[in-house]
Amino acid sequence: MGEGPVKLKSDYLEADISPQGAEMVGLRDRDGRDLLWNGDPAFWTGRAPLLFPIVGRLPNDQLLHEGNVYAMGQHGFARRRAFTLEEATEHEVRLALHADDETLKQYPFPFSLTVTYTLAEATLSISAVVANTGEATLPASFGFHPAFRWPLPYGGTRADHRLVFEKAEAEAIHRPVGGLLSTATEDNPAVDAILEPTDALFERDALIFLDLRSHHVRFGVPGEPGLEVAFPDMPHLGIWSKPDAPFLCIEPWAGYASPEVGPAEFMEKPGLSLIAPGEAKRFGMAIRWMPDVGRLIGPHEAGG
């Protein structure tokens, strides 16, 4: 089938999925307008990388396990690995990555990671299944990192865009500090479930919502077409951009960076999923194209 991107198509959306990192590298509406960031290296080369087996960084980029030290960079290695294309149709593609000598040098645990993209009408669903193929507990985190155009191609400036949470979010947020999770917190920038993204908001890196009530957010200019990002089984959320960058990352996570002050042993790291031998865990999200982001939740729903 070749190593180029696999194209998925419905009456509403088109998506391009690359075997490299099992990464979505294109997302367009039915009129061919780009919704996904293009990876311009002037700002950021990513488009929608998958984060595995860690989200964020480890102290000194080192994994400590049973007295041994393994070097592993930010967000893990899956985004830099070629996946095996297992199946592809017009509406679905399945790719897989298995532990090998190279992964074991960074992450001493046998695993398999199967990623499936399914396009049905106006919704692209992404499912990632992490299976423990070894004989000991598998500690892992998983995260999605899609970058959407900001502004979206429907009129309105960057300043006109809103990020609307399903529910009001009042818990304090964290920031990354050198890629690690800050011990300090700050007030939640979402007011009545609505976040107004600005360049100033990202001068100190990402917003990290650890204690999240919402299971979806909507992004766009009220009254114009936009996107809904749903993550029913992902407990955390990162929101990231760079000042003046024409993208906004909406990142559902199961796991997060090592805290500034925390246990050195990897198995004790907060935010890990601990998967028993022979078991598997699924992580998922969905992107829905919406003809009108003006259909946002009302104030009476925001606290519900």
Domains contained in the chain, CATH given: 6-302 (2.70.98.10)
Gap between the Cα atoms of 3 and 6, Å rounded: 8
pLDDT of residue 264: 87
- Tell me the C-alpha distance between 98 and 235, whole Å: 25
Identify the residue whose tokens are 């598998």.
138
pTM for the whole structure: 0.95
pLDDT recorded at residue 304? 33
Helix, coil or strand: residue 78: helix
Instruction: Please name the amino acid found at residue 197.
Output: P
What integer pLDDT is reported at residue 295 of this predicted model?
Answer: 54
Residue 214: both structure tokens together? 């919402």
Mean pLDDT by 10 residues, the chain (304 residues): 84 98 98 97 97 97 97 97 98 98 98 98 98 98 98 95 96 96 96 95 97 96 95 97 96 97 92 98 97 55 35
